[in-house]
Copies of this chain bind each other. A is one copy, B any other.
Amino acid sequence: MRDDVAAADSAGAGTAVGEAEQVRWLDTDQQWAWRRFLEGTSRFFEALGDAHEDDIQVSLGEYHLLVQLSEAPDWTLRMSALADFLALSRSRLTHTVARMEKRGLVTRRPAPGDRRGVHCVMTDAGYAVLVAAAPAHVTAVRRLLVDVLDADELTTLGRAMAKVAHAARTGA
């Protein structure tokens, strides 16, 4: 219990004698990359959230919700479509939309043609908030991500994360 402890990501914790060992631990390079990813995402989202608190009237999640609506016809999207785009649970979306509705940023209407469905519509006030928030948001994304990387690094990052998203969607 001294050296074998180090790095539960890579070392032989759990190698009980006589028990089938089928875990492929991470090698040094893989572990390094994984930890950079972990720390980087954590600090990135924390810093981006801070930027939103400083300059902006909406949280990061609310901002992305408004962005999705701004790109939809009539600023309108089904709740379920919104949940898919934003990778949010239905429940969380309901709560978030309810809060934003109270602040006048969106409204809800019954969906025509499917009486189970609900449409979420961005209001003019919501659009105004989005427009006001966009400059600080984009500036922060540049400062914390886009301008920090070479163009090909950014491209590779995008491609890699597309693969990761796909793996998470399917392999769940």
**Interface set of A (CB-CB < 8 Å, partner B):** 1, 5-10, 13-14, 23-26, 29-30, 32-34, 36-47, 50, 64, 66-67, 70-71, 75, 87, 127, 130-135, 137-139, 141-146, 148-149, 151, 153-169, 171-172
Residues of B within 8 A of A66 (CB): 8
The 10 closest A-B pairs by CB, nearest first: A40-B161, A33-B158, A43-B168, A47-B168, A40-B165, A36-B158, A23-B135, A36-B161, A40-B164, A42-B87
Complex Cα distance, B98 from A125, in Å, reads 43
Partner of A153, one of B7, B9, B23, B156: B156
A6 touches B71 (CB 8 A): yes
Given the known inter-chain contacts A39-B165, A41-B41, A131-B14, please indicate yes or no for A156 contacting B158, CB distance below 8 A: no
Given the known inter-chain contacts A36-B158, A153-B156, A159-B36, please indicate yes or no for A9 contacting B169, CB distance below 8 A: no
User: Which of chain B's residues has its CB closest to A149's CB?
Assistant: B160
Complex Cα distance, B157 from A33, in Å, reads 7
Q: Report the minimum CB–CB distance from A55 to chain B (whole Å).
A: 12
Complex Cα distance, B10 from A67, in Å, reads 11
A47 touches B171 (CB 8 A): yes
Q: Known pairs A50-B172, A157-B157; list 10 more (Cβ under 8 Å).
A: A5-B127, A13-B131, A23-B138, A29-B151, A32-B158, A33-B161, A41-B41, A41-B45, A44-B168, A156-B157
Q: Report the minimum CB–CB distance from A139 to chain B (whole Å).
A: 6
Partner of A70, one of B8, B43, B164: B8
B39 touches A161 (CB 8 A): yes
Q: Report the minimum CB–CB distance from A124 to chain B (whole Å).
A: 9
